[in-house]
């Protein structure tokens, strides 16, 4: 037995103390390491808020921003000869918003490739041809950036994001071969416009009237009435050579100088419109009821808007193909008849009325105020009813007074048939040598009376089922726009990460991400203009939002800007906006212009008006922290909320 008092009293050995201290230090360090996690949690919470705001803004902007790029050619007889036939105007979120005004700017590829993420998701997106985006520093307000002051520091720029999931194949918003719908006021004369007198005009509706009041006083242009044009005068549904008589009479009246214009010219216009009515409505009884009903002031519009017997309810395509004639006939007749109110008083147009004599086959008419009001009323109702009832019958333009969604028929590209192929136009058809292809257009229903386009009436669209149909339209068994679908098919995702990419030394000097080629605005084919001339078109800065480099506003306009000292002002180096009719530095065929267009010199990516360089060398890889994911509906149709 050992006596406790006699046992030796020993302290901890040094080894034991060291172990104890080690354990203590481990514990302390472990606790200390928890504190930065709290900071990270707060940072993540903040970025999640930024991401929520950004996602809301993106969907708001996508849903409410109009598709207005009015300073761009939209028609060519081959889809590849205008930029609208490509990705630039696709109704997909990233295509719409990756522009210099709507908030999504592609992160320079050089920087994006240095960023790691969970599952290497960012690099997978880049490898598939996608972009990593950052938020533009200014609010997406549509306001012109030219006079904006420097943006305050914007932490949300540390967010990067991408759109995942594949976009649906969209309906065609603008069909290059004919940018339908054509919209005109009702009533109105035959529609017309200036056109270069080249080989693309063709047809019978052309007049050459330079320096005429009311028309473009440009001797280099002709005035073309596309509705009347047919190639070589050959009748073609939707392009009606009989309109030429109405047009010529209208031009004679409308363009006469104020001092010499006469009532006789107005009467001749009315007679031409009456003749057109007689040619379109060949049944004399129907014609009489159409142009001079027995009681115009009590005409039953609600039941007899179309001539009885031609009522469209349940009508066959052949029958509906007759209805456009009534719409057009009343459109011209109403316009011509109303012109007479400039020349006569109510009392002259009451009672016995005004006698309009027959002329060259036009019916005689006694014109009254009641008839004029009836023409107007029936004209509008015919146009509205036709437009709402027959979105695939292009026999007459849509009414400007009430543009509605169904003015845009459902047309998509047929991706399961061989594409149309040809050459990119360069000066002449014979001189064109660069191969091109585009999918065939395909309507949910066959397009009736496609007619000709305003820009290229010499190259008419074949009607489905016609001899030329197989060479142009897609296979109707491939229509998908009207098929049922699962919600998941139209679900895409906006994915956000946080990474301080602006800490890179080249955050503002790295070149822009490669610009989608379809964002380069170019002209439609013009006789004698080679491809280079077509590419050297005017950039109407304020009217082509979907085109040019998405970083355009921030981009540097010269090679010296990225060589400046850190912190130096770049106020004079930003491309920003340009005055109308100016020649912005990114326009043209010079090497510098191409470099500016492509964003080769970098840009003021935080819009603080000075050149920034971060402390992190480009050899360092940064890791992006996942912040959030937001699902959204990917529409296939062009759709804008109010």
Partner 1 sequence: MHHHRAAFTLIEAMIALALGLVLIFTAASGFRVASQAATVASRMSLENAMLRAGFQTAHEQLDFWTDIDDPDGGPVGMALRQRGTNNEGGAVIGMPFTPFKDTWSGPDPDPNSKDESSLGWDPQDRAWSADNPRGWFQGDMAQKCTGGELDLRSGRYALFTNTADNLGTGDFTAINTKTYGPISIIPHHWRDRTVAALINSLGFMGLCEYLPANAVYSLYSPARSGGPYWTSTDMGGIPSWCTLPGGSFENGDGGQQTTRGKYRSTYMTSYCIPNPAYSATPDLLGDLRRYYHVGYENDAGAMQEFDIKTVVPAVLLQARPTTWPRVAVSVARFIKNARHVALCKVRWQSPVTGEVIELSFAGFGTSLRGARQQRQPTTGWAAWDNAASVPTKPAGTFTIPLNLDSR
Span 180-239, contacts to partner 1 by CB under 8 A: 185, 188, 213-214
How far is the C-alpha of 74 from the C-alpha of 523, rounded, in Å?
9
Task: Point out which span in 381-389, 451-459, 593-601, 604-612 binds partner 1 (CB under 8 A).
Answer: 381-389
**CB contact at 8 A, 530 and 423:** no
* Per CB under 8 A, 547 contacts partner 1: no
> What are residue 495's phi and psi, to 5 degrees?
-110, 130
The tokens 């300073």 sit on which residue?
71
Q: How far is the CB of 141 from partner 1 (least distance, A)?
A: 5
* Per CB under 8 A, 526 contacts partner 1: no
Q: How far is the CB of 219 from partner 1 (least distance, A)?
A: 19
Q: How far is the CB of 242 from partner 1 (least distance, A)?
A: 22
Query: Given the complex with partner 1, which of 46 and 279 has the nearer CB atom?
Result: 46
Contacting partner 1 (CB under 8 A), which of 16, 19, 23, 68? 68
How far is the C-alpha of 399 from the C-alpha of 412, rounded, in Å?
24
**CB contact at 8 A, 461 and 441:** no
* Per CB under 8 A, 605 contacts partner 1: no
How far is the C-alpha of 19 from the C-alpha of 336, rounded, in Å?
106
* Per CB under 8 A, 388 contacts partner 1: yes
Angle at which helices 263-280 and 284-291 pack, to 10 degrees? 140
Q: How far is the CB of 609 from partner 1 (least distance, A)?
A: 13
Query: Given the complex with partner 1, which of 491 and 579 has the nearer CB atom?
Result: 579
> What are residue 209's phi and psi, to 5 degrees?
-135, 90
Of residues 237-266, those binding partner 1 (CB under 8 A): 253-254, 257-258, 261
Q: How far is the CB of 185 from partner 1 (least distance, A)?
A: 4
Of residues 16-55, those binding partner 1 (CB under 8 A): 17-18, 21, 24-25, 28-29, 31-32, 35-36, 38-39, 41-43, 45-46, 49-50, 52-54
DSSP track, 247-313? HHHHHHHHTS-TTT--HHHHHHHHHHHHHHHHHH---HHHHHHHHS-S-GGG--TTT-SSPTT---T
**CB contact at 8 A, 505 and 111:** no
* Per CB under 8 A, 637 contacts partner 1: no
Query: What percentage of the chain's residues is helix, strand, coil (to nearest 5)?
Result: 35, 15, 55
DSSP track, 484-553? ---GGGGEEEEEEEE--GGGBTTTTTSPPPPPPGGGS--PPP-TT--HHHHHS----GGG-TTSS-TTTT
Half-sphere exposure of 205 toward its Cβ, with a 13 Å CA cutoff? 36
Of residues 423-442, those binding partner 1 (CB under 8 A): none
Query: Given the complex with partner 1, which of 156 and 268 has the nearer CB atom?
Result: 156
* Per CB under 8 A, 298 contacts partner 1: no
For 61, residues 6+ apart whose C-beta sits below 8 A from its C-beta are 96, 97, 102, 103, 140
Contacting partner 1 (CB under 8 A), which of 345, 433, 591, 619? 345
> What are residue 436's phi and psi, to 5 degrees?
-150, 160
Contacting partner 1 (CB under 8 A), which of 114, 158, 244, 376? 376
Q: How far is the CB of 63 from partner 1 (least distance, A)?
A: 8
Q: How far is the CB of 382 from partner 1 (least distance, A)?
A: 12
- Binding mask 574-603 vs partner 1 (x if CB under 8 A, - otherwise)? ---x-xx-----------------------
* Per CB under 8 A, 56 contacts partner 1: yes
* Per CB under 8 A, 572 contacts partner 1: no
SS3 54: helix
Of residues 72-131, those binding partner 1 (CB under 8 A): none
Query: Given the complex with partner 1, which of 210 and 373 has the nearer CB atom?
Result: 373
Contacting partner 1 (CB under 8 A), which of 335, 398, 548, 613? 335
H helices, E strands: number in the chain: 11, 18
* Per CB under 8 A, 139 contacts partner 1: yes
Q: How far is the CB of 161 from partner 1 (least distance, A)?
A: 14
């Amino acid at each position: 037995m050992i006596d406790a008092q006699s046992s030796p009293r020993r302290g901890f050995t040094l080894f034991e103390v060291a172990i104890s201290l080690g354990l203590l230090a481990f514990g302390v360090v472990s606790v200390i390491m928890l504190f930065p996690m709290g900071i990270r949690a707060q940072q993540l919470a903040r970025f999640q808020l930024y991401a929520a705001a950004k996602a809301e803004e993106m969907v708001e902007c996508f849903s409410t921003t109009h598709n207005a790029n009015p300073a761009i050619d939209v028609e060519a007889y081959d889809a590849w000869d205008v930029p609208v036939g490509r990705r630039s105007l696709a109704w997909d979120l990233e295509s719409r918003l990756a522009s210099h005004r709507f908030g999504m700017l592609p992160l320079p590829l050089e920087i994006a490739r240095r960023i790691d993420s969970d599952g290497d998701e960012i690099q997978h997106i880049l490898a598939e041809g996608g972009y990593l985006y950052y938020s533009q520093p200014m609010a997406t307000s549509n306001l012109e950036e030219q006079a904006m002051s420097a943006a305050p520091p914007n932490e949300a720029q540390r967010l990067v994001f991408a759109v995942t999931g594949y976009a649906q194949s969209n309906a065609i918003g603008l069909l290059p071969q004919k940018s339908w719908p054509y919209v005109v006021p009702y009533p109105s004369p035959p529609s017309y416009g200036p056109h270069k007198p080249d080989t693309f005009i063709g047809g019978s509706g052309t007049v050459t009237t330079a320096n005429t009041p009311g028309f473009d006083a440009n001797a280099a242009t002709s005035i073309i009435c596309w509705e009347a044009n047919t190639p070589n005068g050959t009748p073609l549904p939707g392009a009606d050579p009989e309109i030429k008589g109405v047009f010529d009479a209208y031009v004679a009246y409308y363009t006469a100088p104020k001092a010499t214009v006469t009532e006789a010219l107005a009467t001749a216009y009315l007679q031409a419109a009456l003749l057109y009515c007689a040619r379109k409505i060949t049944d004399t009884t129907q014609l009489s009821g159409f142009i001079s009903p027995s009681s115009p002031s009590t005409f039953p519009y609600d039941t007899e808007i179309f001539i009885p017997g031609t009522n469209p309810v349940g009508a066959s395509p052949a029958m509906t193909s007759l209805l456009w004639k009534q719409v057009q006939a009343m459109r011209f007749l109403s316009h011509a008849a109303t012109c007479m109110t400039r020349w006569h008083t109510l009392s002259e147009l009451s009672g016995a009325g005004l006698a309009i004599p027959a002329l060259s086959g036009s019916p005689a008419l006694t014109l009254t105020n009641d008839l004029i009001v009836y023409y107007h009323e029936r004209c509008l109702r015919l146009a509205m009813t036709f437009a709402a009832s027959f979105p695939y019958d292009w026999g007459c333009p849509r009414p400007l007074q009430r543009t509605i969604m169904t003015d845009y028929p459902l047309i998509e590209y047929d991706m399961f048939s061989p594409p149309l192929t040809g050459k990119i136009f360069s000066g002449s058809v014979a001189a064109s040598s660069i191969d091109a292809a585009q999918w065939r257009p395909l309507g949910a229903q066959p397009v009736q009376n496609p007619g000709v386009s305003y820009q290229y009436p010499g190259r008419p669209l074949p009607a489905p089922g016609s001899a030329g149909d197989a060479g142009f339209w897609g296979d109707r068994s491939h229509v998908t726009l009207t098929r049922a679908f699962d919600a998941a098919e139209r679900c895409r995702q906006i994915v956000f990460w946080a990474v301080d990419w602006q800490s890179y030394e080249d955050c503002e000097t790295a070149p822009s991400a490669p610009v989608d080629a379809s964002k380069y605005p170019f002209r439609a084919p013009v006789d004698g203009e080679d491809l280079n001339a077509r590419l050297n078109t005017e950039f109407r800065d304020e009217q082509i939002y979907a085109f040019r480099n998405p970083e355009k506003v921030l981009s540097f306009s010269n090679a010296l800007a990225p060589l400046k000292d850190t912190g130096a002002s770049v106020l004079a180096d930003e491309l920003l906006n340009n005055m109308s009719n100016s020649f912005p530095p990114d326009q043209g065929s010079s090497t510098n212009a191409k470099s500016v267009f492509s964003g080769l010199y970098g840009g003021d990516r935080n819009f603080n008006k000075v050149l920034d360089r971060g402390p992190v060398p480009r050899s360092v890889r940064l890791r992006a922290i996942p912040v959030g994911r937001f699902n959204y509906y990917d529409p296939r149709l062009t759709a804008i909320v109010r």
